[in-house]
Chains A and B, each alone.
Chain A
Amino acid sequence: NAGVTQTPKFQVLKTGQSMTLQCAQDMNHNSMYWYRQDPGMGLRLIYYSASEGTTDKGEVPNGYNVSRLNKREFSLRLESAAPSQTSVYFCASNRDRGRYEQYFGPGTRLTVT
C-alpha cells in the first residue's frame, strides 16, 4: 500500500496563478483532510471531507477550494495564489469520524512569489 500520496512535491507559483494539489489514499478511508504548516503556527486545517460527497471548512479556508472526487481522492485548489499561501501543505486521511489516527502524505512545499 502506498498510503497517502501527494503531488507535486514542490511548486513555485507567481502571484495570481492557479494550481491544484492532488491527494490520494489507498486505505479505503472515509475522511480526508488538507492542512498547511507554517513556522511558529503549527499545522492548521484548511478543509476536510468527512465522507465521500461532503466537504467542510476548517480554520483557514479563505483562498482555497476543495473537491472530493471519489473516496480515494481529495484535491485542493488555489484559484489565485498569494504570497501568504507560501507554506507546506499536507493531506491526511483516517478511517472515519471519531477517534482514529490520521495518516499523512509527504507534503507539498509551495512558494508563491
Chain B
Amino acid sequence: KNEVEQSPQNLTAQEGEFITINCSYSVGISALHWLQQHPGGGIVSLFMLSSGKKKHGRLIATINIQEKHSSLHITASHPRDSAVYICASTKETSGSRLTFGEGTQLTVNP
C-alpha cells in the first residue's frame, strides 16, 4: 500500500461542476501538499497545509489530521482546470522530502 493514496485516478466533469479529489496518507506528516501538473508538464504548488483549510480563488484544500485525510475542492470548474492534481506529504521524520500520490487526471468539458 502506498503511503499516499489518491482517488479518483481519473475524473471527468462538466464546466461549472463542483469537484472533489481525495487524498489519504498512512503515516504521521508535518505537512500535506497539493500540486497541479498541466498538460505541458510543469508542476506548480497549489497548497501546503498542516491543519484546517486553505482557500485560493476557486480552490479549497482541507485536511483532517485525525482521519489522515485531505481533500481538494474546485468550485465552478472550468476547462482550464483540466490537469493532473497530485497530493504529497512531508513526513515528520524526513525533513522536507515529499512522498507523492499517483495523481488524479481531471478533465473538465465545456
- A residues engaging B (CB < 8 A)? 31, 33, 40-45, 48, 50, 58, 88, 90, 92, 94, 96-104, 106-107, 109
Q: Is the CB of B45 within 8 A of A98?
A: no
Q: Total A-B residue pairs with C-beta atoms closer than 8 Å?
A: 60
Q: Is B102 an interface residue (CB 8 A)?
A: yes
Interface residues on chain B, number (Cβ under 8 Å): 22
CB distance from A38 to the nearest CB of B (A): 10
Q: Is the CB of A103 within 8 A of B45?
A: yes
Q: Closest B-chain residue to A104, C-beta based? A: B43
A43 to B52, CA, bound (A): 26
20 sampled A-B residue pairs with Cβ under 8 A: A31-B95, A33-B97, A42-B101, A42-B103, A43-B86, A45-B97, A48-B97, A50-B96, A88-B41, A90-B43, A94-B96, A98-B90, A98-B96, A99-B31, A100-B48, A102-B33, A104-B44, A104-B45, A107-B43, A109-B41
- Chain B interface mostly helix, strand, loop or mixed? strand
B67-97 vs A, Cβ < 8 Å mask (1 yes, 0 no): 0000000000000000000101010000111
- A98-B30, A101-B33, A102-B33 known; A42 vs B45 contact (CB < 8 Å): no
Q: Is the CB of B42 within 8 A of A96?
A: no
Residues of A close to B35: CB separation below 8 A: 104
Q: Is B50 an interface residue (CB 8 A)?
A: yes
Q: Is the CB of A107 within 8 A of B45?
A: no
CB distance from B19 to the nearest CB of A (A): 20
Q: Is the CB of B96 within 8 A of A100?
A: yes
Q: Is the CB of B96 within 8 A of A31?
A: yes
- B residues engaging A (CB < 8 A)? 30-31, 33, 35, 41-45, 48, 50, 86, 88, 90, 95-98, 100-103
Q: Is the CB of B96 within 8 A of A96?
A: yes
CB distance from A2 to the nearest CB of B (A): 13
- A31-B96, A45-B97, A50-B95 known; A40 vs B102 contact (CB < 8 Å): yes
CB distance from A28 to the nearest CB of B (A): 16
Starting from the known contacts A90-B43, A92-B43, 11 additional A-B residue pairs (CB-CB under 8 Å) come to A33-B97, A42-B102, A43-B88, A50-B95, A98-B30, A100-B48, A101-B33, A101-B45, A102-B33, A102-B45, A107-B41
